[in-house]
C-alpha cells in the first residue's frame, strides 16, 4: 500500500500477491459503494446531487477506514515476523550449543576410554 514494491514473479510470488491485493481492494471498493447506495436509499428526500455527494463521502470514509485497518494488520504482520525470526535464531543457537556440548562430551568420553 505504501512505497514502491519490486515487480515480478520472484520466489515470494510478488506478482500473484499484487494481483490478489488489487482484486481484494476492488472488492472492498465495490462493497463500500454498495453500502453507500444502501445508506442513501431510504433518504428519498435527497436531491440527486446530494445523494451522489453523500455516497461519495460515505465511500471515501469507508475506504479510509479499510486502508487504516489494512495498514495496522500489515504492521502487526511485520512485527510478528521479526519476533518469530528472533525466536527461531535463538532456538537455532540453543540447538547448536546442545549438539556441540554432546559432541564435546562424546569426544572426551572416547578419549578417556582410549587412555584406559
Q: How far apart are CA 33 and CA 80, in angstroms?
A: 33
Q: How far apart are CA 101 and CA 90, in angstroms?
A: 16
Does 12 score more than 80 pLDDT? Answer: no
Query: Where do we find the cell 515476523?
Result: 81
Does 26 score more than 60 pLDDT? Answer: yes
Give the closest residue to 34 by CA, choosing from 61, 63, 55, 65: 55
Q: Among residues of the chain, what percentage have pLDDT more than 90?
A: 81
Q: How far apart are CA 63 and CA 2, in angstroms?
A: 15
Q: How far apart are CA 45 and CA 41, in angstroms?
A: 10
pLDDT averaged over every residue in the chain: 90
Say if pTM beats, i.e. exceeds, 0.75: no
Amino acid at each position: 500500500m505504501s512505497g514502491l514494491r519490486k515487480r515480478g514473479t520472484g520466489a515470494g510470488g510478488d506478482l500473484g500477491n499484487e494481483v490478489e491485493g488489487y482484486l481484494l481492494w476492488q472488492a472492498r471498493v465495490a462493497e463500500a459503494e454498495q453500502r453507500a447506495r444502501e445508506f442513501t436509499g431510504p433518504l428519498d428526500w435527497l436531491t440527486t446531487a446530494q445523494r451522489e455527494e453523500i455516497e461519495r463521502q460515505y465511500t471515501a470514509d469507508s475506504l479510509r477506514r479499510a486502508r487504516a485497518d489494512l495498514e495496522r494488520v500489515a504492521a502487526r504482520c511485520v512485527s510478528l515476523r521479526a519476533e518469530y525470526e528472533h525466536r527461531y535464531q535463538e532456538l537455532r543457537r540453543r540447538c547448536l550449543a546442545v549438539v556441540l556440548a554432546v559432541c564435546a562430551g562424546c569426544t572426551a568420553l572416547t578419549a578417556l576410554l582410549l587412555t584406559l
